[in-house]
Structure 1
Amino acid sequence: MKNNIPYLLQKDIVFQQIIDLYGEPIISSRPQGFESLCKLIMEQQVSLASAKACYLKLESFLGNVNPKSILQASDEDLRSNSISKQKIVYLKELSKAILNKELLLETLAKKTENQIKTELTAIKGIGNWTAEVYMMFCLQKEDVFPIGDIALQNTLKELYPVSSKEEMIELSENWKPYSSLATYFFWHYYLKKRNREPLIY
């Protein structure tokens, strides 16, 4: 993905400014599969540090995070491991979809972004943000722009004269077909400016 940086530098001076300030962005990657989707569900609307602590606690309790172990655990067990009532429902719905073969994660890499998003968002608890970040981190799809991401929105407001999501989406047209790389640039800027590092677990 990084070999497309020259394309973005030609399209928009802001990317060179980010490199001058903080160097090239880190391209995040996670393994494809169930565990990564569980982590993303747990990262919804909470800090990454909080989600990491919660996931590691769950992993310690279950021994192995997989669809069977999630479904075998009672709601009380999961709540005692700091998982909200809503996210228990989401994790169990995902687990059922995997076991019932309604969702075949191993086939997603060969599909288009729209096909992947349609299949993932059919599962209760997986919205556009979760599907899009999975496509970026796990499938390394190159033209994904997760507009629902708050850090991305805040960074675009800092760097461009935009305020609405509609304006941000229009702006992102300039970075196609490498919107994912543009997003990594903005996340890189967001973290570095706040003296934070990407969270890995």
Structure 2
Amino acid sequence: MATLLETDAVLKRGLTALAKADPVMARLKADGVTPQLRKRPPGFEGLAWIVVGQQVSTASAAAIWGRLRAILEPPTPQRFLDLSDEDLRAAGLSAGKVRTLRTVATEIIDGRLPLADLPGFPADEAHNLLTRVKGIGPWTADIYLLFCLGHPDAFPGGDLAVQEAARLAYGLEQRPDAKALNALAERWRPWRGVAAKVLWAHYRMVKAREGAPA
């Protein structure tokens, strides 16, 4: 596995490799598309942050996370299990997210979800370990691997912004679905995570030019 995305030097190395492998990535790089590292805490805290943010606005996610984090000290699986459903619902968690995070916490404590070991796994294997946990879907797994671990080859093919950015960058008639985008991403291994960051940055740049919120 390539070095984790923890420094600008590693990010730059990935960008250089992508530009050599793909003319479109080379064009985006030349156009000044600049991805960011943006790393979140690894472990249960980071995974909980992603689950909290599922299917809600950025503002709502931040508010819910702030309330949850205030009672989740220390932010460990056991502490989460010690909190009552009433406490968690009062923080703003839906019943589904409470169930998911209780399952995640239990899987970690019982040793079936080795979060601490995932940085050493290939992206696909780490993805599969996460998604076998009930409530953890492909998007959540890939976002965790990319933003909490800095895995350079994690690729969230189901992310709508990444899909739309690929449509724009490659001049596609339709926005590719996750299957089509994952197939396209094969050319970017082992730097698919950097490619995803390039596409997000491209999407933000296009939206900024249009005067629309990214």
Q: Same fold (TM over 0.5)?
A: yes
**2:176 pairs with 148, 156, 164, which one?**
164
CA displacement 1:52-110 (0-9 Å, x = unmatched): 22111111133433212211222122111111111010111111112222222212222
Amino acid at match of 1:36: G
Contact kept in structure 2, 1:98 and 1:104, CA below 8 Å: yes
The equivalent of 2:3 in structure 1 is none
Quick one: distance in 2 between partners of 1:103 and 1:167?
29
Over 3 Å counting, the alpha-carbon distance change for 1:169 and 1:138 in structure 2 is same
Q: Deviations over 1:112-163 (max 9, x none)?
A: 2232122211222111111112221233222222111111112122222143
Q: Which amino acid aligns with 1:136?
A: L
Q: Does residue 50 in structure 1 map to residue 60 in structure 2?
A: yes
Contact 1:2 1:181 (C-alpha < 8 Å) held by counterparts: no
Contact between 2:164 and 2:176, CA under 8 Å: does it hold in 1? no
Per-residue deviation at 1:4? 2.3
Tell me the residue number matched to 2:160: 150
Write the letter of the residue equivalent to 2:199: F
Partner of residue 132, structure 2: 122
Does residue 7 of the first structure (1) align with residue 17 of the second (2)? yes
- Secondary structure (helix, strand or coil) at the match of 2:91 reads coil
In 1, the alpha carbon distance for the partners of 2:51 and 2:161 equals 17
Equivalent-residue separation in structure 1 for 2:104 and 2:180 (angstroms):
33
Q: Where in structure 2 are the equivalents of 1:89-128 lying within 5 Å? A: 89-128=99-138
Q: With the length of structure 2 as denominator, give the TM-score of the two structures.
A: 0.81
Structure 1 residues 100-109 or 34-43, which shifts more? 100-109
- Structure 2 unaligned runs (5+)? 1-10
Greater CA drift, 19-28 or 33-42: 19-28
- Structure 1 gaps of 5+ residues are none
Amino acid at match of 1:187: W
Aligned residues: 198
Which runs of structure 1 show a deviation greater than 6 angstroms over 4 or more consecutive aligned residues? none
Match of 2:87 in 1: 77
8 A contact 1:58–1:81 mirrored in 2 = yes
Deviates more, 1:54-63 or 1:89-98: 54-63
Task: Let me know the Cα RMSD of the aligned residues.
Answer: 2.3
Asked if 2 retains the 8 angstrom alpha-carbon contact of 1:22 and 1:189, the reply is no
